[in-house]
Structure 1
Amino acid sequence: MPSVVKWSHYALLAGFSAVLPVAAHAQGTADAGATAEATDERVVLEADTVYENSADNTIIAEGNVEALYQGRILRADRLIYDRTTERARASGNVIIIEADGSQQFADEVDVGPNLSDGYAIGYSARLEGNASVAAKSAIRRSDGINAMEHIVYTACPVCEGKNPTWQIRARRAVLDEETQMISYRDAVLEVGGVPVFYLPYLSHPDPNSERRSGFLMPNAGISTMLGTFYKQPYYWAVSDYSDLTISPTVYENVNPLIGVEGRKRFYSGAVSFDASFTHEADFDSNGTTFGEETFRGHLYGNGLFTIKPGWKWGFGVETQTDDLYDLRYRISNQNAKRGLYSNQPRRLLSQLFVTGQGDSYYTDAAVLNFQGLRGEDDASRLPQVAPLAYAEKYWDMGNLGFASVNASSAILTRDVGADSHRVSLGGDWSTMKILPGGFTFKPFAELRGDYYLLDEAVSGKDSVSRAVGNTGATIAYPLIRRGKNVDLMIEPTVMAAWGFANANDPAIPVEDSLLYEFDESSLFEPNGVGNFDLYEGDGKLSAGITARAIWKNGTEVATTVGRRWRSRADPNFDVASNLNGTSSDWVASTSLKMGSALQLNSRVRLNEDDLSLSRLDMRASTSFNRFRAVGQYYKIDPRISPAGTSDEGIYLRGEIDIAGGYSVIFSQLRDISRNVDTRQELGIAYTDDCARFEIIYDRSEVRDRTLGPQESFQIRFSLLSLGNFGSNGF
């Protein structure tokens, strides 16, 4: 029987403990409350043998020793407690289990009361995130400083007889429990047991910490334009609610650049920004400078704040000093959405907006400003929008259906070109009925009035007012057939509507419908345009069919195909809009879902005369076995292309696992119509549970004024718990 020893007048091994067993509470219930506080200071010691050595005033426990104190456990083969010095020494397979479940190991430990100080021989520990640390010796001080000699740290699985993918070896390391940082002296980063980097000093956060200030992993490479470059980010945790990353970059061919990224959270919202600046002249794709040196930079940022429940305001800012600045310095995130509205490629958009939404209303208002980065852009012809506003109120009228009213305004001004000030007020109504035989019947009506205040010198009129509207109905016949292996659903649908004639005045400048194209998503809408400046009136008829098959194993195929007929051709619609004649091209969409093995989505437009391909957009993704890829393909016939020429391109990105964690990476964005690779990447990668290494070759054949084809070579890797080295934007 193991012996159980209890001390209640002082703490033995305070810090190694657990809940006292029943045997340790032999006192009667009368004094239970009086001793509750003292119970927290007791240590329970269990072992095969426990005896006292009166000669040197020690207590010795041997065989399956386990000491428990306040949620902590110490296990060892042998333990000696010195009553005179109040220190304890444990040896043989020592394991310390903290209250949070983390474990520490040692061949031998010597500790004082309450673990205020001590040392360990043959020390190792498992940290959060599967990280582990081992040292020949470790010393813990009462101020929370833990010093380790001849240390090895890794976040990889440790197997006997095999080197981890990566590890840090250092002569000395210090873990500061207050700052939660691990600092190394004479550190060597080993990959596969081979030394790669030597650093006289290195520090990184303890895996238990959330975030800490310090240097991040650098980024380095070689570019035909910038030459050899090195980027060293520094992360500054300003407060619990804000941080800043400062990233100076030095280049072989041009002057250094400073990058700054910041985030701050407030009580009602948050802001973030990405900026950079330098003092440099223009330079071409070979890094040859020309012109005068001046300050150049960029600023992208956004913020969103709550005014009150349902109401928010925000902003987005996008600006840079030069239209080629982002391409020269490879600034990313230009196309991110930073507010209500998204920009177009090579166009920057700054906006200030407010939104409100409740159970029966929605409203928004925004001020917009554009900056053109294309060679043909003229800043004086780009509009300033102040404001662009929309509001809608709707009602559920029960058996009578749904109704809504809406108001909208758009005020566009230019230094050169047509100004346009529009105000609109409208309303609509619809309901749904089930007819005998299973038919669905949806009648609808809409009415809107527009008023335009125009620039007479450009438009020929000082103002235009109009009334537009449609009324009609949609009828459909949904059919379903459930089967043993597959369920089939088919729904033929017809929509008929009649609207006001001559809805489009040629004096109205078309601002919001320049690139609009009628497709299957608006096949059964009475107004096939969906915006404000152009409106589809007159009589129209749409017919189409939607079919879907769902297999029991989860595979699903769906398609919609249809066409539209009009009572009169409207010359205000061009060929690209698909609404220019008395009948549209055939439009269709198809999707295939087979889990991760294959996801396919496509949209197609076929010429109404000979069913030749007018437009095709297709996206596919797959992940099975050793192969993962995503691809997109598009083709636009010259007949409907705004430029009047064929437009075709393909984008592919994927990775093929070869063996043992090694894989081949490929990525290509190709403009087939111009026979140009917009971007191409090819590389080799190694991936395991704790690291990823990449060697990447990158090439772009795009020419934009002084910038031409570019090539670069990078080594990129990511180490679990340490961060990324190189670009992670692949």
Structure 2
Amino acid sequence: MAEEATTPPDAAAAPSEQVVLEADYVYELRDENSIVAEGNVEALYDGRILRADRLIYNRTTERVRATGNVVIIDTDGSQQFSDEVEVGSNLSDGYAIGYSARLTDGSTVVASSAIRQPGGINAMDQVIYTACPICEAKGQKPTWTLRARRAVLDQESQMMSYRDAVLEVMGIPVFYFPYLAHPDPTSDRRSGLLIPSVGLSSKLGAFYQQPYYWAVSDSSELTISPMISANVNPMLELDYRKRFYSGAINLNTSLTREKDFDSDGEKFGEEKWRGHLYGSGRFALNNHWQWGFGVETQTDDLYDRRYDLDGQGEERGIYMSQPRRLLSQLYAVGQGDTYYTDVALLSIQGLRGGDVNGSLPKVTPLLFSEKYWDLGDYGFASVNASTAVLRRNVGSDSQRVSVGTDWTAYKILPGGFTFEPFAELRGDFYQLDSNSAGNGNESRLVGNAGTRIAYPMIRPGKTVDIMLEPEVMAAWGTSNSNDPAIPNEDALLFEMDESALFDANGVAGYDLYEGDGKLSAALTARAVWKDGPELSATFGRRWRSRTDTAFNTISNLDGTTSDWMAAATADFGRALRIDTHVRLDDDGMQLNRIDTRLTTQAKRWRATGQYYKISERLNLGGREEEGIYLSGEIRVTDRYSILFGQLRDISDNLNVQRDIGIAYEDECSRLELVFSRTELQDRTQGPSENIQVRFSLKTLGQFGSSEFD
């Protein structure tokens, strides 16, 4: 017999305080002023549900005692289990014996007893906590558990603390903590100590770095990471992040006072303050304009390699730095429906062995702006302006101002031909040092006019669509466009490839310009299957009316014929993708350059491979370069994987970087053991090798990180 019981009418007047009780049998003990429910008992209060075999509600004390398979389901979906529980009428405050709980994040906690107090303090004795799934039917034990004599959860501060805690991995005690505290996994950001980094290095000796995370405000945070080492003086590292209404900033810096030291930890030179600063920020001025900054600087060119600092090569603005070059920039960008503008101040710091202090320029400023119009049937037109002001402490200064205009149209001719006429005109003015030009000023007017004609042919099929598109570009431009007095600052390493084959001016940048007559031709083929795979390839070259000595062999614009250029892609989705770029010599079809990249991913593996080869003709050093890069992970079983990575310089028979390791991963943890070795040597920083171990625990973070050089 199922019955319902509710609280008295005065309590029931407030619906949020109403208790609904259902059971097979409900009866009253008048002498004890109690209500007893037995059999499939379920009590509902304010979204909380209590289920049990038997329940007694004492009206005098307003306490509920439940026994037998007790389950409490909270409003957040978490479930609590116990053999016996006594709670208040709100089904929250009380105690439990034989307690366990399954939290909303999937973690599990078990305790011999638990007490929940009205002030939000929850205490448990003989506690076991894990984020791993537990399956008693299969005899499956959790990968890791945290055992403690006592645990306390303060709901007001959202902190969990343990006394006499032991971390067990695979049932083996690994760490003992007299006291351990961490934020509740469901809480917001909290200040506190993070997992330290401990290791042994040939450069630093034994070292210990302890990060402290400070949640400064809802919109800012600071990580303070002091490091002490056996061989060198302490170093302090800081990471600061802050969000504003219009943008955000991110800063990473470090500071120490120490001498220089080599890869064996041997000190030399003067003891002085040393450090680095990497940072960026970007902010919106309005819907069309943004401004930002990027800063990269360090006191020593090998400082980052001595302390194994990361962060170089990251994007910190609208311009990217080159390897072993630091770039600081202050910029603004504006873009609307018919215009685009960017302006930047740039400063470059060289970290390479051959860099001379002061020889790298400061750009004050670099500007590009363009305004364009849709002329309807008459095509598209634009005007643009650019300026670059370069200052050096060592070497020549230069200033350039350029103003240009472009026009293009697109027509479809009878028979399916596409016809795209174009024209461009640009004026450049240079103000140079007198040692670079006789009068210090140079000017020129350059331009091109021509057309592109293509004939796309498509054959749809039941299983595959095939497309062939021959394309030709013919243009004529100004002759003698490159005055030897004009310094080449922005096209030193330029190389024309298939992406610029149909540009009238095949040169990137402003200091060099491709005039005279030129003719480009290429054939593009593409096959697209209905079920997804796609193959495509482009093959072509360029002819010029005369030789321009301003272009070197690397540019692919020297002489009157370019090398043959080809690009091919085989895309089979995640299973396999191959991208290849090839440059073949115009006389004899010898391989001058190849760059092939392969990516593959499946249930059991993921891998990336890249192979490159550059002939001595295209290398400023006059020697052939060849190398291969491999990286990936192979899942041998459902839990174990093999990690690998290698960057090999085949030309010098040198392993720039080699990594191999093994990883274990389940639903609640990941363990990696990786051996790394590099044979690269940069002045006082020579070859090194290390072993890295990292154990990541779900909800608790990363435990254990050691390195051995």
Q: TM-score range by the shorter chain?
A: over 0.9
Q: Which residue of 2 aligns with 1:384?
A: 362
Contact 1:472 1:498 in 2 (8 A): yes
- How far apart are residue 10 of structure 1 and its match? 5.8
Root mean square deviation, CA, Å? 1.6
In the alignment, does 2:121 pair up with 1:145? yes
Letter in structure 2 aligned against 1:2 = A
Q: Which moved more, 1:637-646 or 1:95-104?
A: 95-104
SS in 1 for 2:100: strand
SS in 2 for 1:40: helix
Match of 1:397 in 2: 375
Name the SS for the 1:326 alignment partner.
helix
Q: Does 1:680 align with 2:684?
A: no
Q: Are 2:128 and 1:155 aligned?
A: no
Distance in 2 of aligned mates of 1:726 and 1:242:
28
SS in 2 for 1:235: strand
What's 1:644 paired with?
622
1:76 corresponds to which of 15, 32, 52: 52
Structure 2 equivalent of residue 58 of structure 1: 34
Q: Distance in 2 between matches of 1:108 and 1:195?
A: 31
The CA distance in 2 between the partners of 1:182 and 1:460, in whole Å, is: 76
In structure 2, relative to structure 1, the CA distance for the partners of 1:116 and 1:482 (3 Å cut) is closer
Residue 553 (structure 1) shift: 2.1
- Please say if 1:288 is aligned against 2:261: no
Residue 143 of structure 2 corresponds to 165
Q: Partner of 1:622: helix, strand, or coil? A: strand
What is aligned with 1:196? 174
Aligned partner of 2:242 in structure 1 is 264
TM-score (norm 1): 0.94
Q: Does 1:715 align with 2:697?
A: no
After TM superposition, the structure 1 stretch with the greater mean CA deviation from structure 2, 158-167 or 323-332, is 158-167
1:329 to 2:307 alignment? yes
The answer to whether the 8 Å contact 2:77/2:104 transfers is no
Hey, what does 2:5 align to over in structure 1?
5
Partner of 2:254: 276
Q: Is this contact kept in 2: 1:8–1:41, CA < 8 A? A: no
Alignment correspondent of 1:664? 642
Aligned length: 705
Match of 2:344 among 350, 354, 366: 366
Amino acid at match of 2:377: N
How far did residue 728 of structure 1 move? 12
Aligned mate of 1:635, from 587, 607, 613: 613
Q: Which residue of 1 aligns with 2:97?
A: 121
What CA distance in whole angstroms lies between the structure 2 residues aligned with 1:679 and 1:232?
Answer: 28
Does 2:536 correspond to 1:558?
yes
C-alpha distance in 2, partners of 1:10/1:201?
A: 48
Q: Which of 632, 635, 640 is matched with 1:654 structurally?
A: 632
SS in structure 2 of the partner of residue 576 of structure 1: coil
Alignment-mate amino acid for residue 607 of structure 2: A
Q: Match of 1:23?
A: none
CA offsets 1:161-184 (integer angstroms, 9 cap, x no match): 322111111111111212222111
Query: Which secondary structure state, in structure 2, belongs to the residue aligned with residue 327 of structure 1?
Result: helix
Asked if structure 2 preserves the Cα contact closer than 8 Å seen for 1:77 and 1:90, the reply is yes
SS in 2 for 1:596: helix
C-alpha distance after superposition, 1:410-450 (max 9, x if no partner): 00011121211000101101111000111111011111110
Secondary structure of 1:561 counterpart: strand
Distance 1:41 1:708 in 2: 72
1:192-591 equivalent positions in 2, closer than 5 A: 192-591=170-569
Change in 2 beyond 3 A, CA 1:666/1:401: same
Q: Distance in 2 between matches of 1:478 and 1:183?
A: 70
For residues 296-351 of structure 1, give each alpha carbon's deviation from its aligned partner in whole angstroms, at most 9, with x where no partner exists. 11110000011111111100000111000001111111110100101000000111
Contact map agreement 1:461 1:507 (CA 8 A) in 2: no
Q: Provide the rounded CA distance (Å) in 1 between the counterparts of 2:178 and 2:9.
A: 49
Aligned to 1:49: 25
CA distance in 2, matches of 1:464, 1:294: 46
Deviation of 1:486 after TM superposition, in Å, equals 1.3
Once the two structures are overlaid, the 10-residue window that deviates more, 433-442 or 186-195, is 186-195
Say whether the 8 Å CA contact 2:132–2:143 is kept in structure 1: yes
Structure 1 distance, partners of 2:8, 2:373, is 74
Pair 44,115 (structure 1): closer, same or farther in 2 beyond 3 Å:
closer
* CA 460–154 in structure 1, closer or farther in 2 if over 3 Å, else same: farther
Instruction: Name 1:98's counterpart in structure 2.
Output: 74
Give the letter aligned to residue 80 of structure 1. I
Contact 2:350 2:357 in 1 (8 A): yes
- Specify the alignment match of 2:160 in structure 1: 182
Whole-angstrom distance in 2 between the partners of 1:470 and 1:726? 63
Please tell me the residue identity of whatever aligns with 2:5.
V
Q: 2:554 is paired with a residue of what secondary structure?
A: helix
- How big is each residue's C-alpha offset from its partner over 1:359-385, in whole Å with a ceiling of 9 and x where there is no partner? 111111100011110111112211010
Structure 2's unaligned 5+ residue stretches are: none
What secondary structure, in the 3-state scheme, does the structure 1 residue paired with 2:90 have?
helix
CA offsets per residue over residues 276-295 of structure 1, 9 Å max, x none? 11121111111111122222
Secondary structure, aligned partner of 1:575: coil
SS in 1 for 2:499: helix
Residue type matched to 1:649 in 2? G
Bigger drift between 191-200 and 318-327 goes to: 191-200
Deviations 1:379-422 (A, max 9, x none): 22110100001111111111111111101000001112121100
What letter is aligned with 1:346? R
Preserved CA contact (<8 Å) 1:520 1:562:
yes
What's the CA shift for 1:232?
Answer: 1.9
Distance of 1:655 and 1:240 partners within structure 2: 38
Q: Distance in 1 between matches of 2:241 and 2:706?
A: 20
Q: Distance in 1 between matches of 2:31 and 2:571?
A: 80
For residue 726 of structure 1, report the CA deviation from its aligned partner.
Answer: 5.7
> Matched residue of 2:435: which SS?
helix
- Per-residue CA deviation, residues 89-128 of structure 1 (Å, 9 max, x unaligned), is 1111111112232222222111123346311112222223
Task: Tell me, in whole angstroms, the C-alpha distance in 1 between the residues paired with 2:346 and 2:703.
Answer: 38
Distance in 1 of aligned mates of 2:683 and 2:149: 54
Contact 2:191 2:214 in 1 (8 A): yes
Aligned AA (1:262): Y
- 1:489, 1:365 → 2: CA distance? 41
Name the residue aligned to 1:28.
Answer: none
Give how far 1:658 is off. Answer: 2.1
| Aligned-partner SS, 1:129 | coil
